[in-house]
Structure 1
Amino acid sequence: MRSIALRVEHRQQQSLSPRLQQAVRLLQLSSLDFAQEVHDALGKNPFLEGDESDPEAPAADLPETDVEPGLAAPAAASADEPFLDTSAVMDTSPEGDADGDVDYSERDSWQADGLSSQRRGEEGDLSAMDMMAVETSLNEHLHGQINVLPLSMRDVVLAKSIVESLDDDGYLRTDLDELIELTELDPPASPDELQVALRLVQSLDPLGVAARSVGECLLLQLSSIEDEGEREIARHIVTDHLDCLAAKDVAGLARKLKRTPAEIEGVCDRIRRLDPRPGWHFGASQVQYVTPDVIIRKLRGAWRVQLNPSIVPKVRLNHVYAEMFQRHRQAQNGEMAAHLQEARWTVRNIEQRFATILSVSEAIVKRQKHFFEYGALAMKPLGLREIADEVGLHESTVSRVTNNKYMATPLGVFELKYFFSRAMTTASGGACSATAIRGVIKDMIEAERSSAPLSDAEIARQLAQQGLVVARRTVTKYRQLLKIEAVERRRRAA
Structure 2
Amino acid sequence: MKPSLQLKLGQQLTMTPQLQQAIRLLQLPALELQAHIRELLETNVMLEPDEAEASGTFEVAVTAAEQPKPPERATESTVEVLEEGWGDHSVGPAETPWSGDEDERHQEYVDESGKSLQDHLMWQLELAGLAPRELAVARAIVDAISDDGYLTESLAEIAHTLRPELECSTEEVHGVLERVQTLDPPGIGARSVAECIELQLRQLDPATPGFGTALQIARAHLELVAQRELTLLRRELRATEEELDAALALVRSCHPRPGATVCAGSAQYVVPDVFVRRTEHGWGVEINPATLPRVRLNQGYASLIGRNASHASMRAQLQEARWLLKSLEIRHETLMKVARSIVERQTAFLEQGEEHMRPMILKDIAEAVAMHESTVSRVTSGKYMHTPRGVFELRYFFSSQVEGADGSGTSSTAIRAKIRKLVKEEDADAPLSDGRIAELLSVEGIPVARRTVAKYREAMGIAASNERRRAGLKQM
Question: What TM-score does the superposition give when structure 2 sets the normalisation length?
Answer: 0.83
Q: How many residues align?
A: 445
Residues of 2 paired with 1:64 and 1:269: CA distance? 59
CA contact (8 A) 1:68 1:302 kept: no
Determine which of 217, 233, 242 is the counterpart of 1:237. 217
**In 1, Cα distance between the equivalents of 2:226 and 2:425?**
23
Give the whole-Å Cα distance in 1 for the aligned partners of 2:164 and 2:406.
77
CA distance in 2, matches of 1:68, 1:474: 42
The aligned runs of 1:68-107 (5 Å cut-off) are: 71-72=66-67, 85-86=86-87, 90=91
Output the amino acid matched with 1:270: L
Q: Provide the residue aligned with 2:404 in structure 1.
A: 426
Residue 415 (structure 2) pairs with residue 414 (structure 1): no
| 2:263 corresponds to 1:268 | no
Q: In the alignment, is the contact (CA less than 8 A) between 2:159 and 2:167 conserved in 1? A: yes
Q: State the shift of 1:477 in Å.
A: 4.0
When normalised by structure 1's length, the TM-score is 0.81
Q: Check conservation: 1:61, 1:89, Cα contact below 8 A.
A: no
Structure-to-structure mapping, 1:214-229, within 5 angstroms: 214-226=193-205, 227-229=207-209
Q: Which residue of 1 aligns with 2:299?
A: 319
Range with bigger deviation, 259-268 or 377-386: 259-268
Which residue identity lines up with residue 321 of structure 1 in the other structure? Y
1:214-363 aligned at under 5 Å gives the runs 214-226=193-205, 227-283=207-263, 285-300=265-280, 302-324=282-304, 326-327=305-306, 329-363=307-341
Whether 1:174 aligns to 2:173 is no
Partner of 1:117: none
Secondary structure, counterpart of 1:438 in structure 2: helix
Shift in Å, 1:357 = 0.5
Corresponding residue number in structure 1 for 2:10: 11
CA distance in structure 2 between the aligned counterparts of 1:443 and 1:196, rounded to whole angstroms = 54
SS at match of 1:408: strand
Q: How does 1:195-210 map to 2 (within 5 A)?
A: 195-210=174-189
Consecutive unaligned residues of structure 1, counting only runs of 5 or more, are 74-82, 96-106, 112-131
- Measured in 1, the distance between the counterparts of 2:313 and 2:264 equals 45
Contact residue 63 and residue 307 of structure 1 kept, 8 A:
no
Match of 2:75 in 1: none
Give the Cα–Cα distance (whole angstroms) in 2 for the partners of residues 464 and 364 of structure 1.
28
Identity of aligned residues (%): 39
Q: State yes or no: 1:49 paired with 2:60.
A: no
Look up the SS of the partner of 2:303 in the other structure.
Answer: helix
Q: Deviations over 1:437-471 (max 9, x none)?
A: 12222223434566766555554344334332223
Stretch moving more, 20-29 or 375-384: 375-384
Alpha-carbon offset, residue 208 of structure 1: 0.7
Cα deviation digits, residues 152-177 of structure 1 (max 9, x gap) = 32211111100011111111111222
Q: Distance in 1 between matches of 2:280 and 2:231?
A: 57
User: Does structure 2 conserve the Cα–Cα contact (< 8 Å) formed by 1:72 and 1:390?
Assistant: no
Paired with 2:217 and 2:264, the residues of 1 have a C-alpha distance of: 33
CA distance in 2, matches of 1:216, 1:430: 54
- The answer on 1:61 being equivalent to 2:56 is yes
Paired with 1:491 and 1:212, the residues of 2 have a C-alpha distance of 36
Residue segments in structure 2 that go unaligned for 5+ positions in a row: 69-83, 106-110
Query: What amino acid is aligned across from residue 416 of structure 2 in structure 1?
Result: R
| Equivalent residue letter for 2:185 | P
SS in 1 for 2:244: helix
CA contact (8 A) 2:271 2:384 kept: yes
Helix, strand or coil: the match of 1:332? helix
SS at match of 1:492: helix
For 2:220, the aligned partner's letter is D
Shift of 1:475: 3.3
